[in-house]
Structure 1
């Protein structure tokens, strides 16, 4: 499985689309808005640029993509009016892997711009938008062309499934039954990938450029703790039930692993400081319930749909598409039982960074 070819959220605007099943991701964007607001305000007030170039990495598709754009424009407009300045030109780059549903983004663009004008008023912008298909573990933009980078709930995805020397038998992700070598391989892949990400963004950001990144993460020191891995463990249970029923080969489950790593705040800090291109301004963790809907009676249904929108393309690369309805029906039943007994929350790690001036870096060295 080449991750770059198969990792994308369910496209379109249908019942199992990411656009209609990403309420958790929306809540996280709203929860971390104060960090975003401080970072973009500090950037604007230190540079007062006539044009602002902003990249949203792992943008996916749907209302969440435009929520970030809307927030950034409103924050800048508030600041520039305080200083009695003309509104800057906005350049927004939407980035995701080639399989992303960019069509839905651009088909919604006209309506979004009309709504934004109603909210902000005339006189801002102009705004320019582009789609950039490619992995953020590679170079995506010209040198020193970006002012600001945003990414939410994307950087926990790895560039590839870690190279495992032992089978992760019965599991599709890290679990307490995974061999130590599996846990080690996952961490090493994360450190390698995140270091690459920081290196390439430092090349693309202008002097004083900033980033706000939110990971699906954890608070525990244990990478295989339930707080970050349980959601996948329950999905592996659903798959293993189909193995018992003879509908899926056991080998197919044993050879399938989710290309994701949910870091702790300490691990994020360690890699940032080790790579050396950025200074940390803020590093915080937050929590959000698995079921972000106000409708508690449909909790397991909502969580199953959310996870299907995220994971189905990966599963289809390994298992029959005809089994997906059955897989997620079983998953919903398992989720319902688990959520009735336990407190189920996602942990989010958000970091605000500023690119270190190369001259200052030389002076430090």
Structure 2
């Protein structure tokens, strides 16, 4: 595509306020940029001159920096490309308040590409032996975009506040990459204090992204009661063809549900082979009360669970496997409400877990504390006295 033709298309989109059209022409990894760069490139000063002739301000600068960023990507210089993309966004944000909300799609594209370039630029800086600093700088720029959206004072039907949650998604993805989850709290506080429409009024894609991130943040804070509905909503409303997104949600949703004995179906795991390898043995162990199998599966998948940050949560669900086994002891003894500690010790030994009676007492005490069992332990008599009513209550009510 000739530069003049490209700029003509961009200018037409700007004049007609065609949001998706302009955004697509300003996307670095797009067919338009690829076609443009396949042509013989003009000298930089010539590109700048032609942009000035063909486009109104501030689009002259925005598009020029976009083209320079594309050329940086083409040449494999991601540090230079990042710098140009950052200049494009800075120019865009200076004029953002004077624009109408048709330009939100462009804002999303500029910020999303900035994040991608920052990741690549940091890799290059590390390879050179320099400090990787672009992703941190990127987070500050995206934060400015967030502020510009959430503080917009235009009437609601024309407000740029409608872009708030989309920008939050890009910002949170950046914070997660930086392992700076704590910074998300500041954004959530700002959202709570702002005069925003209810989340349900935003596009479903924005809702899903927001519920996913709030679910994961609650998961990391061990607030599983809050995490589960957010993650479940995100999973239920993510179309099946977004396979990788659904798999990512399940990495946090499955451990959350394991804590109250809700096991993933075979059909679900078959859809995600990686998850099947990781969770099928754990689910089988919980269902059958085979504590030894659970421990072996936890060791086998440990490195993967640690990398996801879900290991400790999955480890907590061991208590559900122990509960299943102990309930089998209760059932096999005609549901008597007085059971000796040694009977539970024998059951554990049967599934390959050899512990002394003191350890068994400790396990029973934890079961009672976590609400998995109702009763008390007579330490002197080494007996568990179970409640006459519902000694093994439903696990849903005991979710942490």
TM-score range, shorter chain: under 0.3
> TM-score by structure 2 length?
0.21
The structure richer in strand per residue is: 1
The one of the two structures with greater contact order (alpha-carbon pairs below 8 A, sep at least 6) is 1
> TM-score by structure 1 length?
0.23
Q: Which has the larger radius of gyration?
A: 2
